[in-house]
Chain A
Amino acid sequence: MNKENRRIIFILVGFCILFVGLVAYLSFFQVFKAESVKNNSYNKRLWINEENVLRGSIMDRNGNVLAYSEKNEGTNTRYYKYGNLYSHVIGYSYREYGKSGLELEYNNVLLDINENAAINELKNLVLPTSVGNDLRLTIDHGTQEKARNLLNGRKGSIVLMNPKNGEVYAMVSLPDFNTSNLNDNWKEITESPDSPFLNRATQGLYTPGSIFKIITTLSAIESLDIDLEYVCEGSTNIDGYILKDYNEIAHGKLDLHGAFIKSCNTYFGEKSLEIGKERLGSVADRFMINQKINFDLPVKESSFPYKGNIGDTELAASAIGQGKVVATPLNMAMMASAIANNGEMVKPILVKEIINKDGKITRAITTDVISTVTGPTVANEIKDMMVDAVASGTGTNASIRNVTVAGKTGTAENPSGNSHSWFVGFAPANDPRLAVAVILEEAGTSGGQGAAPIARDLFIHGLNNIDF
């Protein structure tokens, strides 16, 4: 073969490589990149359905409409009736800013789009939809409003739920933002140092402080080999670190019950060394710490990193909810629920029913036990402690005349600011219908002072007003 033909073949091979490269890139693009490209909010096709389909309404458990769409002069407009109140639960759906909250998670349901594109195409052919599905939430509008008012503008979060079936009656996170006029204050919201977009109830990871002692207490009860008696002197030295009680009060001779009611740090710190990190950790795992919680909104994992190499100091700090332990308010409400529900932790739910345009319920959510933390006997034992903690311990501010309240306060030291004020509990103790987690972020007050009264007022309102 002469050199010209050899060069021709060389060029031809070059072209082959270029074109095969194009085919390879096109396939690569389709397999690995297309999904993220498609979901770019500049892709006008995403909003085509918005034009054609009237987005479904969202209402509370009693049928009060909270968000709805209307067709005005050919374009569909979304209205949020209550401004700030549902900024984290319902979120928003704006062409300019995208979607968040349930508007994002239930987008396909609200627009009645099938997730499988092919089925969707076929379905659109047979019966083109023009109205999406409605959502009926478990939220009780009045209670939600009450909860937000109780926080009174303070940074923090409240989760109020039914311990038996997991229905969330109120979920508030402050600071929040007004979803009905995002255009006017978008810049302000995005630039705020207080991160108003953060749903603290599901995404906020806080040091739990003493409310974590519920988990430590359960571990202690299960650890049959340890001595539950202890003499508290107000402080103790653990491996060179001085662990102090609140105001360094010496509680004297204590058993587990007494230690829980008085929220004795030295007791739980010392006992945790006998319990050991493995037993404490596995109990925490049962409470869905370090676990993914499936919920209608994305939930961050609470964390107690016991599997690594942690020393006695770290373990003692974890036992009283300090150190590296962090938890979401939702998870803490679920913790209280599990004790209230005889040791069974149910899946929290926010969307009760999906209702199609003909008013038929197409999906009703059922109760789901996601973890059994302990049996009824032990659960009742801890319940008694929580009742006494409210009746005569740190949580007296949460007590209600005529109704027995069970609870646990927490004052979590926060390395980056003032301490968080926590309260978790449930009521009525003999037949729990409400479980709550309240946190006042960097409130600087104790859990008994700051969070407990909020829980009390919310219980009173909820027990009187919610249609269970």
Chain B
Amino acid sequence: MFNILSLLFKYIFIIIIYMFIFSIIRLIYLDIKGMDFVGSGDYAYLKLINRKDSLPFKINEHYSIDEELSLGRRGDNDIVIKDPYVSKNHFQIIEDEESYFLEDLSSANGTYLNGELIGDAVGLKNGDIIKVGNIEFLFVNKG
């Protein structure tokens, strides 16, 4: 009985180990994609318009949007920006049925879409420019 189980399990073990390795590689890959971005069309993303080294805090060139993306000064946001003009929770972008919506989270200084201060959630389209404090992002839709 044990022998049969063991014979069967050895294949299962190998499958699990490789799935584990695969899932880690995949997650790391997504991670790197977030950091050292190469636009591939699979994901919608935000692109930093400002020159990076002119800013006094750490920021990446690209942030891919996977269903949901939040920006703020506090550590639990997807994009953490240590800029005094940015609120703890500033804005979020939500995907709903292939469309993306930008929503301000009652920030102190507000969120600007193509130069206009937004109130309620607004739909995003390719090429929109989102401004928060001194930082400007370009929204690039997938595909």
**In the complex, B3 has a CB within 8 A of chain A:** yes
A310 at the interface (CB under 8 A from B): no
**Complex CA–CA separation, A125 to B4 (angstroms):** 7
| Bound form: Cα–Cα A306–B7 in Å | 55
Q: How far is the CA of A122 from the CA of B7 in the complex (A)?
A: 9
CB distance from B134 to the nearest CB of A (A): 26
Task: Please report the C-alpha to C-alpha distance between residue A122 and residue B57 in the assembled complex, in whole angstroms.
Answer: 64
C-alpha spacing A122/B5, complex, angstroms:
11
Instruction: Kindly state the interface size class of chain A when it binds its partner.
Output: under 10
A residues near B3, Cβ cutoff 8 Å = 121, 124-125
Which residues of the other chain, B, contact A121 by a CB distance below 8 angstroms? 3, 7
Chain B min CB distance to A135 (Å): 29
Residues of B within 8 Å of A122, CB to CB, are 4, 7
Closest A residue by C-beta to B4: A125
User: In the complex, how many residues of chain B place their beta carbon closer than 8 angstroms to a beta carbon of chain A?
Assistant: 3
How far in angstroms is the closest Cβ of chain A from B5?
Answer: 10
Q: How far is the CA of A121 from the CA of B3 in the complex (A)?
A: 9
Which residues of chain B are within 8 angstroms of A124 by Cβ–Cβ distance?
3
Interface centre among A121, A122, A124, A125 (most CB of B within 10 A): A125
Chain B residue at smallest Cβ distance from A122: B7
Question: For residue B4, which residues in chain A have a CB less than 8 angstroms away from its CB?
Answer: 122, 125
Contact with A along B75-86 (1 / 0, CB 8 A): 000000000000
Query: Please, how many angstroms separate the alpha-carbon atoms of A124 and B2 in the complex?
Result: 12
**Chain A, 29-61, contact with B by CB distance < 8 Å: what is the 0/1 string?**
000000000000000000000000000000000
Q: Which of B46-102 contact A (CB under 8 A)?
A: none
Measured CB to CB, the closest approach of chain B to A390, in angstroms, equals 63
Interface digits, A405-446 against B, CB 8 Å rule (1 contact, 0 not)? 000000000000000000000000000000000000000000
CA distance A206 to B4 in the complex (A): 54
Distance of A137 Cα from B52 Cα, bound (Å): 88
Q: Mark B1-12, 1 if CB is under 8 A from A, else 0.
A: 001100100000
Residue of A nearest to B2 (CB): A125
**Which residues 113-141 of A sit at the B interface, judged by CB distance below 8 A?**
121-122, 124-125
| Assembled-state Cα–Cα distance A124/B4 (Å) | 10
Q: Which partner residue on chain B sits nearest A121 by CB separation?
A: B7
Bitwise interface map of A from 226 to 242 toward B, beta carbon under 8 Å scored 1, else 0:
00000000000000000
Chain B, residue nearest A126 (CB)? B4
CA distance A259 to B3 in the complex (A): 71
A122 to B3, CA, bound (A): 8
| Chain B, range 1-48, C-beta contacts under 8 Å to A | 3-4, 7
Cα of A125 to Cα of B3 in the assembled complex, Å: 6
Which residues from chain A contact B7 at a C-beta distance below 8 Å? 121-122, 125
Complex CA gap A36/B17 in Å reads: 29
**Chain A nearest CB: distance from B114 CB in Å?**
35
Shortest Cβ gap from A121 to chain B (Å): 6
User: Nearest Cβ in chain A — how far from B47, in angstroms?
Assistant: 21
B115 to chain A: closest CB distance in Å?
35
Q: How far is the CB of A111 from chain B (nearest CB, A)?
A: 18
Closest partner residue, chain B, to A118 (CB atom): B7
- Nearest chain A CB to B3's CB is how many angstroms away? 4
Give the Cβ gap from B98 to chain A, nearest Cβ, in Å.
Answer: 37
A125–B7 Cα gap in the complex (Å)?
10
Inter-chain CA distance A121–B5, complex, in Å, is: 12
Which residues, 92 to 128 on A, are CB-close (under 8 Å) to B? 121-122, 124-125
Give the shortest distance, in Å, between A346 (CB) and chain B (any CB).
43
Contacts of A125 in B (CB 8 A): 3-4, 7
Smallest CB gap from B7: residue in A: A121
Q: What is the bound-complex CA distance between A122 and B4, given in angstroms?
A: 7
- Rounded to whole Å, the gap between the CB of A338 and the closest CB of chain B is 50
Distance (whole angstroms) from the CB of B62 to the closest CB of chain A: 17
- Rounded to whole angstroms, the CA-CA distance of A390 and B49 in the bound complex is 109
| A121–B10 CA distance with the chains assembled, in angstroms | 13
Closest Cβ of chain B to A125, distance in Å, is 4
Sample 8 A-B pairs with CB under 8 A, ordered by A number. Answer: A121-B3, A121-B7, A122-B4, A122-B7, A124-B3, A125-B3, A125-B4, A125-B7
What are the nearest 3 A-B pairs in CB distance? A125-B3, A125-B4, A121-B7
Tell me the A residues contacting B by CB distance below 8 Å.
121-122, 124-125
Beyond the given pairs A124-B3, A125-B4, 6 more chain A to chain B contacts, judged by CB atoms under 8 angstroms and listed by A's residue number, are A121-B3, A121-B7, A122-B4, A122-B7, A125-B3, A125-B7
